[in-house]
Amino acid sequence: MSAIDIGQSVILGIVEGLTEFLPVSSTGHLKIAEGLLGIPVGDQSVVGFTAVIQVGAIAAVLVYFFRDIVRFAAAWGRGLVNPRARQEHDYKFAWWVIFATLPIVAAGLLFQSLVKGPLASLWVVAGSLIIGSAVMWFADRAGSGRRSEAEATLTDAMLVGASQILALLFPGFSRSGATISTGLLRGLDRVAATRLSFFLSIPALTGAGLYELKDALGGGAGALSLVVGTVVSFIVAYASIAWLLKFVAGHTFTAFVVYRVIVGVALLAVLGTGVLAP
Residue 124, pLDDT > 70, answer yes
**CA dist 134 → 75, 129, 170, 200 (Å):** 38, 9, 15, 23
Query: Taking the CB of residue 56, how many other CB atoms lie within 10 A of it?
Result: 26
pTM, two decimals, is 0.86
Query: Taking the CB of residue 142, how many other CB atoms lie within 10 A of it?
Result: 11
Mean pLDDT of 187-211: 87
Contact in structure between 25 and 172 (CB atoms under 8 Å):
yes
Residue 228, pLDDT > 80, answer yes
The burial of 38, by beta-carbon neighbours within 10 Å (0-12 exposed, 13-18 middle, 19 or more buried), is given as exposed
Q: Average pLDDT of the chain?
A: 88
**Nearest by Cα to 140 from 257, 25, 246:** 257
Contact in structure between 78 and 57 (CB atoms under 8 Å):
no
Mean pLDDT of 157-174: 91
Mean pLDDT of 108-125: 82
* 243-255 pLDDT tens trace: 999 999 899 999 9
**Where along the chain do its domains lie?**
6-272
User: CA-CA distance, 268 to 233, in Å (whole number)?
Assistant: 27
